[in-house]
């Protein structure tokens, strides 16, 4: 097996230049909780590993005009300890903190979770529901990409060769907003989602004025379910509106049958999780 070279640059520009020089054989290393497992299993054999954990911009959390910018390589543990982010986006924080165990949380990042491109990645439905924008840098400069446009299928992203996700921007939110993420797993922890559901709502005078709903593990990529959001917006989140949103979620599902769940089960659970996540997000919105 070819030995991989290891570099730990101090800037995004340097990391991008290293990736460009690796002729398609470079891999970004953030926490390594997916990459190292895949290397050990012989699934990937990079010629160059570019460790991004020493890049300040990729490992910092900051607030800019009410929006939150979270470096793509910030660990789950650091996100867990960030009071401001937790208050603004509890659903996003909970989703990231569901990844693995305490040990995994000490390394794993949302950037790695997104770029590993598992349809069941826990942070992705919450980021998509939040309307998060990824800042991506590659050989042709920077671009801003809605998170839902990055996964392209199991293990595949829409990133161009040499591109790195630098950070995520969670938009400033109006008063009366709340988000939530729920997943179903066959065990109590350390398992892959059978279904994941992220919901982000804004409420004004008892009426839902904005909504985003995303589902994980029910299709080759995380789904933004616009029909579910449409059913919620303009309603008082009454049973009829919530049932219509759940029906839109069930209709959007194109899941696989596997040992964790059948197509019928996953489809039914998508509606159940939607209802529960809406209840939590609405409660949070009312108290904000
Ligand atoms: C025991 C265990 C339990 C787990 N449980 C869960 C779970 O419950 N839920 C879940 O969703 N996942 C789980 N995972 C999977 C994994 O921990 C997560 O996907 C994690 O978020 C990956 O982040 P990382 O920083 O370790 O990524 P890495 O392993 O460093 O990278 C993953 C992939 O993304 C690429 N990459 C990383 N960062 C970037 C970037 N900024 N730009 C471009 N490409 C990048 C890498 O090249 C690699 O291909 C688990 C893994 C283990 C080992």
Q: What is the pLDDT of residue 261?
A: 86
Which H helix or E strand runs over 81?
none
More confident residue, 186 or 105: 105
**Ligand 1 nearest atom to the CA of residue 30, by list position:** 30
Q: State the pLDDT at residue 2.
A: 63
Chain centroid to Cα 80, Å, comes to 15
The pTM of this model reads 0.97
Phi, psi of 19 (to 5 degrees): -60, -40
- From the options 3.30.420.40, 3.30.43.10, 3.40.50.300, 1.10.10.10, give the CATH code of 1-51: 3.30.43.10
Mean pLDDT of 155-178: 97
pLDDT interval class at 273 (50, 70, 90) = very high
In CATH, the architecture of 177-286 is 2-Layer Sandwich (3.30)
Taking only the tens place, the pLDDT of each residue in 32-78 is: 999 999 999 999 999 999 999 999 999 999 999 999 999 999 999 99
Give the pocket of ligand 1 (CB within 6 Å): 27-35, 37, 52, 72-73, 98-100, 104, 107-109, 111-113, 115-116, 121-122, 164-165, 190
For ligand 1, atom 38, name the residue with the nearest CA: 112
pLDDT at 1 over 70: no
Which mutation among 33, 41, 152, 191 tests ligand 1's pocket best, with the greatest number of atoms within 8 A of CB? 33
**Beta bridge pairs of residue 67:** 64
Among 15, 27, 73, 111, say which to mutate for ligand 1: greatest number of ligand atoms within 8 Å of CB.
111
Per the CB < 8 A criterion, the answer to whether 98 and 197 are in contact is no
Report DSSP letters for 225-283, one per residue.
-HHHHHHHTTS---HHHHHHHHHHHHHH--PPPBTTB-HHHHHHHHHHHHHHHHHHHHH
In this prediction, residue 206 has a pLDDT band, given cuts at 50, 70 and 90, of very high
Residue 246: pLDDT above 60?
Answer: yes
How far apart CA 26 and CA 45 sit, in angstroms, is 9
Answer yes or no: is pLDDT of 6 > 60. yes
- The residue-averaged pLDDT of 273-279 equals 98
Structure-model confidence comparison of residues 192 and 279, the more confident one: 279
Indicate which residue's Cα is closest to atom 41 of ligand 1.
Answer: 165
In this prediction, residue 78 carries a pLDDT of 98
Ligand 1: residue whose CA is nearest its atom 21: 113
**What integer is the mean pLDDT of 203-224?**
97
Give me the pLDDT at residue 282, please. 98
Interval between CA 81 and ligand 1 midpoint (Å): 20
Q: What is the DSSP string of the chain?
A: -PPPEEE--SSHHHHHHHHHHTTT-EEEESS-TTHHHHHHTTS---SEEEE-TT-GGGS-EEEETTEEEEETT-BHHHHHT-HHHHHH-HHHHHHHHTSS-HHHHTT-BHHHHHHTT-TT-SHHHHHHHHT-EEEEEETTEEEEEEGGGSEEETTEE-PPTT-EEEEEEEPP--SSEEEEEEEE-SSSSSS--SEEEEEEEEEETTEEEEEEEEEESSSSS-EE-HHHHHHHTTS---HHHHHHHHHHHHHH--PPPBTTB-HHHHHHHHHHHHHHHHHHHHHHHHT-
Q: Which atom of ligand 1 is nearest to the CA of 163?
A: 43
Kindly list the domain boundaries of the chain, sorted by start residue.
Answer: 1-51, 177-286
Measured CA to CA, the distance from residue 259 to residue 86 in angstroms comes to 34
Q: What's the whole-number average pLDDT of the chain?
A: 96
Mean pLDDT computed over 15-40: 97
């Amino acid at each position: 097996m070819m030995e991989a070279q290891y570099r730990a640059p101090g800037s995004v520009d340097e990391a991008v230049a290293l990736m460009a020089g690796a002729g398609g054989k470079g891999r970004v290393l953030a926490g390594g909780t997916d990459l190292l497992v895949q290397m050990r299993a012989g699934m990937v054999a990079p010629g160059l590993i570019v460790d991004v954990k020493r890049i300040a911009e990729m490992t910092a959390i900051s607030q800019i005009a009410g929006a939150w910018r979270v470096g793509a390589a910030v660990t789950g543990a650091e996100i867990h300890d960030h009071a401001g982010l937790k208050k603004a986006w509890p659903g996003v924080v909970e989703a990231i903190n569901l990844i693995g165990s305490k040990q995994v949380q000490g390394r794993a990042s949302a950037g790695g979770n997104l770029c590993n491109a598992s349809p069941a990645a826990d942070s992705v439905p919450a980021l998509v529901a939040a309307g998060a924008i990824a800042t991506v840098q590659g050989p042709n400069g920077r671009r801003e990409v809605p998170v839902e446009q990055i996964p392209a299928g199991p293990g595949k992203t829409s990133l161009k060769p040499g591109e790195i996700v630098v950070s995520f921007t969670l938009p400033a939110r109006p008063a009366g907003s709340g988000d939530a993420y729920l997943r179903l797993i066959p065990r109590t922890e350390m398992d892959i989602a059978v279904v994941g559901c992220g919901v982000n709502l804004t409420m004004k005078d008892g009426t839902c004025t904005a909504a985003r709903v995303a589902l994980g593990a029910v299709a080759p990529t995380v789904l933004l379910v616009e029909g579910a959001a449409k059913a919620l917006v303009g309603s008082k989140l009454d049973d009829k509106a919530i049932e219509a949103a759940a029906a839109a979620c069930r209709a959007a599902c194109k899941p696989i049958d596997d040992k964790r769940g059948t197509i019928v089960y996953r489809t039914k659970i998508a509606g159940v999780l939607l209802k529960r996540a809406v209840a939590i997000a609405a409660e949070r919105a009312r108290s904000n």
